[in-house]
Amino acid sequence: MPKPLERVNDFVIKFANVNGSGSASANTLFGKIILRMGVPATPRNIFPSNIQGLPTWYEIRVSEAGWLGSRGGVDLMVPMNPQTWDADMASVEPGGYVLYDSTKPLPPSKFRDDVTVLGVPLTEMCNAAYTDPRQRQLFKNIMYVGALSALLDMEVEVVEKLIAEQYWGKDKLIKPNIAAMHMGRDYALKHLPCPIGLRLRRSDKVGDRIMIDGNAAAALGAVYGGATVCAWYPITPSSSLAEAFASHCKRFRTDPTTTKRRYAIVQAEDELASIGMVIGAAWNGARAFTSTSGPGVSLMQEFIGLAYFAEIPAVIFDVQRGGPSTGMPTRTQQADILSAAYASHGDTKHVLLLPEDPKECFDFGAQAFDLADRLQTPIFVMLDLEIGMNERLSAPFKWDDSRRMDRGKVITAEDLESGKPFGRYLDVDGDGIPFRTYPGTHPTRGAFFTRGTTKDAYARYTEEGPAYIENMTRLMRKFDTAKTLVPQPIRRDAAQPTKLGAIYYGSTSAAMDEALDRLAGEGVQLNTLRLRAFPFPQEVNAFCAAHDRVFVVEQNRDGQIRTLLMSECGIDPAKLVPVLHYDGTPITAKFVADAIGEEAAVVPFRKAVS
């Protein structure tokens, strides 16, 4: 047997549960305890498209160094689901640990001799202590948290405090949960070699960071961004974004005396209706959004083209999942980049924002509404399941109270009254962005007809070639203006000058940070550029020009951002080396570092022969 793992504040623990067994709250509690001890920890839900009965996992990466990306591998396994026992057992690193329910004897073939097996008769203890079947199930979960607190040497006061916080307002539940936790803890202290080689030790590496999932963060961004209309259709992994908006609005936008709401949320009949309502509301001067995922964006294509061509603001949160088709509804990918960037028939292009974590989900979630109004066009905020549905340590959100909504170029009744000329699609300022009026502004001036057909600068229907070309080139001008308004890319240079670069975006960030650290340790010098929006600002061209080879790291099969770099910036494809991770699991630092490290050692062919 290899030596049992010995690590402090640096390991991966994974719980295997059955969907619907009430394990989620116990697992979440466990994660919070670690954070409350000042140790950075990143939880991940790995779940099927199912409500009850199928396997589900909850993984927590504990990392004092602060690496928030998925690591891969498991050091301590808690296999509570017989259905996945064999695979769970096999996934443990040699020298790792397994904490299991030892009520029912299992044959030796079910175990491995290179891991430390720790048994607690959880079912037996629950059956002895409780009569209600649901209680037996729920307290079993708290019991293993108790056992782990002893095994990992966690601070029991913190555990008790967090149980009390978790059941705040349901005070009757606090005592029995604390009691169940102690049952598990006492058993472990008495019968098992506590603590094991994996340990938690109080630290101060969490700082003022907060724990939140990207969907809830983006929804809060929408509240701060002044969104009043939300129309959506349930789809994993985006549903919790609209639901979080509802709960934020209930708190922040409900009149305490009249209970009247300063918002409207409609669960539409499908994605077509969702985006239709958003466009109708935004046309009428409200800030509106929808939240969806890849299949929803596919359904919205025609309307997105209308909003592009008729120039109506709209905000679309696309929480990406595994595609194509129904694909992997509960797995993560960055595979909607192209379908969002070029959504709809005809020549269309759209603005995409690419948040890396909950902080940017909040920031971009609010900024998207300013951009939509300013540019009068759809704005996509491209989350993915990894950052959307998993809680993540994030910098606290900030707001400047002097900030005001930018409603863009809107002509008022006073403007019209004073005789200010108005042509709905007239490029007055040379930035491609025309002025608009809201319906109901003035009794005799400023009305226009919005349509998806070709029109002239005064919104009159026309199919004349020159008027069409003028309009289409103006839209390109507007798209160029967008480059200056969107969040700019962030460049980070290696310690020494290098001709190797890497481009990445979105949820890949966490793995990238860690990979860069490892690569630097291995002597690979790599400059990076993190994209935060499309269209790409000029700096992207400059970055590519300054490097011989640029790795483009993304979580899809076809290198979708790489395609955009080629088609929109004219970058030589030979220079852009794809690093692609697309099996539905979040990309890991190991994957990135291995791929880049291997490639970095290879002299590019063109260089070799020149």
Which positions from 361 through 380 interact with another protein, judged by CB under 8 A?
none
Q: Which is nearer to another protein, 421 or 461 (CB)?
A: 461
Q: Which is nearer to another protein, 302 or 470 (CB)?
A: 302
Does position 33 interact with another protein (CB under 8 A)? The reply is no
Does position 449 interact with another protein (CB under 8 A)? The reply is yes
Cβ neighbours of residue 106 under 8 Å, at least 6 residues apart? none
Contact pick of 113, 204, 400, 598 for another protein (by CB under 8 A): 400
Interface with another protein in residues 122-161 (CB under 8 A): none
Minimum CB separation of residue 282 from another protein in Å reads: 8
Please say whether the beta carbons of 350 and 325 come within 8 A. Answer: no
Minimum CB separation of residue 166 from another protein in Å reads: 13
Contact pick of 223, 343, 382, 593 for another protein (by CB under 8 A): 223
Interface with another protein in residues 287-326 (CB under 8 A): 288, 302-303, 306
- Map residues 421-440 to x or -, x wherever contact with another protein holds by CB under 8 A: ----------------xxxx
Does position 284 interact with another protein (CB under 8 A)? The reply is yes
Contact pick of 109, 325, 444, 610 for another protein (by CB under 8 A): 444
| Token pair for 453 | 């057909």
Does position 170 interact with another protein (CB under 8 A)? The reply is no
Q: Which is nearer to another protein, 390 or 527 (CB)?
A: 390
DSSP state of 416: H
Contact pick of 34, 188, 229, 511 for another protein (by CB under 8 A): 229
Minimum CB separation of residue 222 from another protein in Å reads: 10
| Chain CA centroid to CA 259, Å | 32
Q: Which is nearer to another protein, 107 or 169 (CB)?
A: 169
Q: Which is nearer to another protein, 55 or 358 (CB)?
A: 358
| Token pair for 419 | 């005789």
44: closest CA among 66, 72, 21, 19?
72
Minimum CB separation of residue 564 from another protein in Å reads: 27
Contact pick of 105, 113, 398, 466 for another protein (by CB under 8 A): 398
Residue in the block written with tokens 């969806």: 292
Please say whether the beta carbons of 504 and 528 come within 8 A. Answer: yes
Minimum CB separation of residue 425 from another protein in Å reads: 15
Question: What is the identity of the amino acid at 352?
Answer: L
Q: How far apart are CA 559 and CA 561, in angstroms?
A: 6
Cβ neighbours of residue 484 under 8 Å, at least 6 residues apart? 537
Please say whether the beta carbons of 76 and 99 come within 8 A. Answer: yes
Stretch that binds another protein, among 135-143, 189-197, 395-403, 478-486 (CB under 8 A): 395-403
Q: What is the b/e burial string over 111-124, where b = at least 16 CB atoms within 10 angstroms of the residue's CB? A: ebeebbbbbbbbbe
Minimum CB separation of residue 303 from another protein in Å reads: 6
Other CB atoms closer than 10 Å to residue 423's CB: what's the count? Answer: 15
Minimum CB separation of residue 578 from another protein in Å reads: 36
Does position 164 interact with another protein (CB under 8 A)? The reply is no
Does position 277 interact with another protein (CB under 8 A)? The reply is yes
Minimum CB separation of residue 383 from another protein in Å reads: 18
Contact pick of 47, 224, 245, 364 for another protein (by CB under 8 A): 224
Residue in the block written with tokens 């472990």: 188
Q: How far apart are CA 130 and CA 137, in angstroms?
A: 10
Q: Which is nearer to another protein, 183 or 278 (CB)?
A: 278
Interface with another protein in residues 70-89 (CB under 8 A): none
Interface with another protein in residues 231-270 (CB under 8 A): 231, 252-253, 255, 258-266, 268-270
Q: Where are the beta strands (DSSP E) in 176-227?
A: 198-199, 210-213
Peptide linkage before 82 cis (omega within 30 of 0): no
Q: Which is nearer to another protein, 124 or 449 (CB)?
A: 449
Q: Which is nearer to another protein, 132 or 255 (CB)?
A: 255
330: closest CA among 78, 586, 509?
586
Minimum CB separation of residue 386 from another protein in Å reads: 19
Stretch that binds another protein, among 446-454, 464-472, 506-514, 548-556 (CB under 8 A): 446-454
Cβ neighbours of residue 437 under 8 Å, at least 6 residues apart? 410, 411, 416, 422, 424, 446, 447, 448
- Map residues 181-210 to x or -, x wherever contact with another protein holds by CB under 8 A: -------------------------x-xxx
Cβ neighbours of residue 424 under 8 Å, at least 6 residues apart? 434, 435, 436, 437, 448, 457, 458, 459
Does position 218 interact with another protein (CB under 8 A)? The reply is no
Does position 463 interact with another protein (CB under 8 A)? The reply is no
Count of positions on this chain that bind another protein (CB under 8 A): 71
Minimum CB separation of residue 231 from another protein in Å reads: 7
Minimum CB separation of residue 174 from another protein in Å reads: 18
Q: Which is nearer to another protein, 160 or 517 (CB)?
A: 160
Please say whether the beta carbons of 394 and 217 come within 8 A. Answer: yes
Tell me whether strands 527-531 and 490-492 are parallel, antiparallel or unpaired.
antiparallel
Please say whether the beta carbons of 344 and 591 come within 8 A. Answer: no
Does position 399 interact with another protein (CB under 8 A)? The reply is yes
Minimum CB separation of residue 227 from another protein in Å reads: 8
Please say whether the beta carbons of 92 and 49 come within 8 A. Answer: no
218: closest CA among 249, 243, 241?
241
307: closest CA among 274, 282, 332, 286?
282
Does position 53 interact with another protein (CB under 8 A)? The reply is no
Q: Which is nearer to another protein, 139 or 303 (CB)?
A: 303
| Chain CA centroid to CA 311, Å | 28
DSSP assignments along 149-177, one per residue: HHHTT--HHHHHHHHHHHTTT-GGGHHHH
Interface with another protein in residues 484-523 (CB under 8 A): none
Tell me whether strands 500-505 and 490-492 are parallel, antiparallel or unpaired.
unpaired
